[in-house]
Structure 1
């Protein structure tokens, strides 16, 4: 595809020359990334990202994000409570030539009514923060304020006996996890034990792990508990193995601590574990574990004395960071203090008493942890996908238009008639059909809401007919297959963050069926502000308005990320049949499946003849020697009329796709599915934003062995508006075992054209305006506008237009037969 280049500025046009290329970008890419990765994060986000699109593109590079995190300077995050405590403030203190304090606004993620509850930051990991409001059994918040990402996580149950929780990162597999402890009693009800729950951010699920432990720990973690993939507080809780163990202490230190009759506090200082010990009220020592996990490497490296008259005791003191100047920043209940050390000395050589400098502020500090501000997001895989999408879009320029003159072949020259699959009929032996169907997975694209029909929930949960929702019908169809052939065809739902919760509640209703229902969420990307291309959440929109699902082209990557792809391959599944959740005609066709398996096709798209309702739908072309999907967004403005023509492009993509699971895995792992980007402009809360999306049908050109079938119109029966709902609820269709069949009494091959006015747009209004759905078997065209109400047992034939006059309620009486009539008032109903 040819891309439109960037336009010259007005100044360049006046000079009559081309812009001078920036020499910085002539450097090798690794050198550029190396330079940018050394810039402080706040400066990078607030300034460098706005220089030009190339700078912005580089900052979205996943390698850059990792490199910048590894080089982020030592810093710590402090939480202050104003007096009286009507709110809170978070300040980022960055180390460098001079300490810099930046106030961060986290409050826009929290309800105003909750601010007075107080905030407790419990742990930090890769730039992400974990905190709670009020009590430990409140909802958990995971956030990265710099990228505007916030996630609220409900506790697994009423945690009135909560111990503590913390955020960490598992390297195998790569995912963020939350560990939650709570107190419980044994079977006798007398002995207290601690049970542990793990929450995985990738799956969104809590689970109780088996290896519970009996040691009762304190209610608060150290301010810096995470090191080497584990939380530390006397015990070590590892996120990879999910095993627990006691941190080994030297015999001498353990003896001293036992004599002091308190449990040791194990925390993290830099890249070391530390503990604090004292043998008198006015001095204490800091011990460092120089080699992680080696008991003998504990060494006393820091001794503090002459503390008489100060306002804290050793057990309230906790070092939090070693600064580049050689000072140690330490936390106490009322101030942050810095301990000066010899210049150039590293943490291993710290020794002897030190003099503390108090730094007091108007507010007093209540919490402080080390924190590396970074570009990290909650899902590493999602982040990489978003970076890749934005980088490709910024690199390629504006909309990706085709060169119209280079379209060599149109659809009918590349699509095979459906009767090809009928040449090899399905075996009459049910066992053979079972073997065939056991290789199949059915996946519905369930990310859309029913907003066009006035509904707030998923479109798949709208009642279609006789109280059955789309989802009910899908389950009934697959249940019928599984019962008839004894096979195990699962139903998979790809939800979005908009549809997940409601869908999960509905899926519980199918627990007693023979259909296994799987779910996973597609990616969640931030909308981009059109003016400066910054993520919309950074503009103070951390909620759902700041995010969007990036189109069904995200299917392949999200299926892989969810772990479902590998699981299905392990079960012996070979193909996935993908369809929109609003397409009632997308049923399993065993003949197509057999044809694909027999001929080893990796990708199959179903297209069908176009009608006036489908002129904006994507079509297929032969372009650059490959079959390729063409969407209207890729068509130059001068050729949109040709694209919509049913003579030029006579069929369109139904989005019924059959794809090899092995081929998906191979292409995703090779990062080879770079479908054309479709920029979707929108206005959200008065702000112009852009959503970068991709289409699953565009993936056809990346598969080695693909095929296109021109299928009957019966395989495309979408319900996107109430006019479609009228069709499927009428006598034009019958419903048996979840399948819609067209009434044979209809002579015309095409369905009637139906246009309903805005009074019918919402499902609730639509249903209230019909006592019963009219008979439309002989209807050609219906147009309804104004305040129109339909009685029972009405018959519509030919071309009917009903337009109520303004301010007039027009009621069509019971039993009326309207054939080739135009109705504007009651007087037109007679005769």
Structure 2
């Protein structure tokens, strides 16, 4: 038998159906006209600020490059304050790669959807575009500002906003002291001032918790001032996830300190001890290395890792400062097989669907599903080296607004953003699509604080688009056929896909 011939369309005889596209009215053309008035700016300023403050950080960064008016709105200190209160917390990751690889910070922000799938928004901060130095230690973060220290002991400190590429340099006081222990950045709500706390050894005597002193540097004053003894020595790195009510919280690293949980309030500039759960005894305090602090729904969280390698407990302080309010709220079970004497899971994000994003032994970011009682690895970071992760909420707080007489510097690559917004040609704000270079812009400019695609889905990857003359990447539908635009024709003043543009010109 002869094989049955497969039926198919003859490309020579079949006619491709062409969707009928309605003509574009003069009113619609005026609406899409880039040179016409910006409709959104006709709204009340407070309403526009409210709308913009609900956008993701990547979209906001695109909006800064639309026009000078939008750049002015997003640079407004009032807008920065709105973003601080509404911006969801993400994860800032510092990897420890070989010395031949450039140091960087990776930021990941999770956008949840109704079907419980994730969408990751990523940024990459590098010394060329966002960071003041190439080698640094990541200390902590506050209101979108991060505190960095140089690699050498007793070196310079840096407070910077990597989104804007702005930074100030702070010289540590008391050079020649035996050792510095810790540095932390905080904010005083009452005075609106940002402050840096540092503790140091008073002398070369044996190291105990009782000979540590503390100093405060208020940004804008230019000098350090002593605030006396440091109550309960601060650890070498502060868990920023335990920043609550204007205070830093940490677990004491000295066993001779009776207080297990310590805090420092940047408003009162006072150290304070918080009571642990009532069942805590001397034995639990001896194993402070197996404890982690965090914040959940405005409450302090204490993670306790015990002898049982299959689970750990998360205690929540419902009423701040009240010992009786500690409640055993989460029990995390089915842990990974133990690799260290005390494996550490540090909760960083609590998602609305009940999942908890954690750092596991500073090697991988995992997600725990409470209903299934199971872990899964995430794509938040892909590294073969150890990393340090902290909670971070990016914002547009400008150091020029808070530094007063202090000298503010800009990373060289970050200056291109303002120049692009003044000289570049843009149609409208992007809608979450990855940025690519436009033929209308000077290709010598770099996008500050970003490398590669800005938005990556957990289940898909961004595609690279090669450009033709007079076309640039956009995220809008075609004004005629409604299909997604891989390209936008710029000659008519309204977005058309390439097919509709060719059909109109023929």
Structure 1 residues 175-199: Cα deviation after superposition (integer angstroms, max 9, x where no partner)? 1000001123599999951100111
CA contact (8 A) 2:197 2:217 kept: yes
Query: Is residue 144–residue 397 contact of structure 2 (8 Å, CA) maintained in 1?
Result: yes
Task: Provide the alpha-carbon RMSD of the alignment.
Answer: 3.8
Give me the whole-angstrom Cα distance separating, in 2, the residues matched to 1:80 and 1:291: 36
Q: Structure 1 residues 366, 152: CA separation in 2 closer, same or farther (over 3 Å shift)?
A: same
Corresponding residue to 1:285 among 313, 316, 321: 313
2:422 maps to: 533
CA distance in 1 between counterparts of 2:203 and 2:209 reads 6
Q: Number of residues paired by the alignment?
A: 374
Candidates 325, 337, 345, aligned match of 1:309: 337
Q: Deviations over 1:436-456 (max 9, x none)?
A: xxxxxxxxxxxxxxxxxxxxx
Are residue 200 (structure 1) and residue 218 (structure 2) matched? yes
- 2:273 maps to 1:246: yes
Which protein has the bigger helix share? Answer: 1
The structure 2 residue matched to 1:107, chosen from 118, 127, 142, is 127
Cα deviation per residue 1:256-288 (whole Å; 9 max; x = unaligned)? Answer: 613657685434345322212133140211111
Greater C-alpha radius of gyration: 1
* Alpha-carbon offset, residue 107 of structure 1: 1.2
Q: Secondary structure at the match of 1:253?
A: coil
Q: Which residue of 1 aligns with 2:393?
A: 372
Q: Which residue of 2 aligns with 1:25?
A: 41
Equivalent of residue 364 in structure 2, options 309, 313, 335: 335
Residue 214 of structure 1 and its aligned partner are, at CA, apart by 5.4
1:25 aligned counterpart, secondary structure: helix
CA contact (8 A) 2:110 2:121 kept: no
SS in 1 for 2:312: strand
- 1:165-564 equivalences under 5 Å are 165-185=183-203, 192-210=210-228, 212-213=229-230, 215-233=232-250, 234-254=261-281, 257-258=284-285, 260=287, 264-269=291-296, 271-282=298-309, 283-307=311-335, 309-312=337-340, 314=342, 316-332=344-360, 333-341=362-370, 354-359=373-378, 361-378=382-399, 380-381=401-402, 497=407, 529=418, 532-533=421-422
Q: Using a 3 Å threshold, how does the CA distance of structure 1 residues 181 and 109 change in structure 2: closer, same or farther?
A: farther
Cα distance between partner residues in 2 of 1:94 and 1:190: 40
Structure 2 equivalent of residue 36 of structure 1: 52
Distance 2:92 2:146 in 1: 10
Contact 1:137 1:160 in 2 (8 A): no
**Relative to structure 2, which stretch is displaced further, 229-238 or 25-34?**
25-34
> Partners of 1:235 and 1:138 in 2: how far apart?
26
Residue 55 of structure 1: how far off its partner (Å): 2.2
Checking the alignment, whether the CA contact within 8 Å between 1:124 and 1:167 is kept in structure 2 is yes
CA contact (8 A) 1:288 1:299 kept: yes
1:134 to 138, 151, 159: 151
CA gap of 1:214–1:167, structure 2 versus 1, over 3 A, is closer
Instruction: Return the offset for 1:308.
Output: 5.7
Q: Which of 55, 63, 75 lines up with 1:60 in the alignment?
A: 75
Q: Per chain length, whose mean CA-contact separation is higher, i.e. which structure has more relative contact order (CA < 8 Å, sep 6+)?
A: 2
1:209 is displaced (CA, Å) by 1.0
Residue of structure 2 aligned with 1:125, choices 124, 129, 142: 142
Contact 1:132 1:141 in 2 (8 A): yes
Deviation at 1:168, TM superposition (A): 0.2
Asked whether the equivalents of residues 336 and 365 of structure 1 are also in contact (C-alpha less than 8 Å), the reply is: no
For structure 1, the 5+ residue unaligned runs are 1-14, 343-352, 384-494, 499-525, 543-831
Give TM-score scaled by structure 2 length.
0.65
Q: Secondary structure at the residue paired with 1:39?
A: coil
Q: What is the TM-score normalised by the length of structure 1?
A: 0.41
Aligned-partner Cα distance in 2 for 1:496–1:291? 39
**Contact kept? 1:264, 1:275, Cα under 8 Å:** yes
CA deviation map 1:621-666 (0-9, x unaligned): xxxxxxxxxxxxxxxxxxxxxxxxxxxxxxxxxxxxxxxxxxxxxx
SS of the residue aligned with 2:279?
Answer: helix
Deviation at 1:109, TM superposition (A): 7.3
Shift of 1:217: 4.0
Q: Is the 8 A contact 2:95 2:383 kept in 1?
A: no
1:176, 1:379 within 8 Å by CA — same for their partners in 2? no
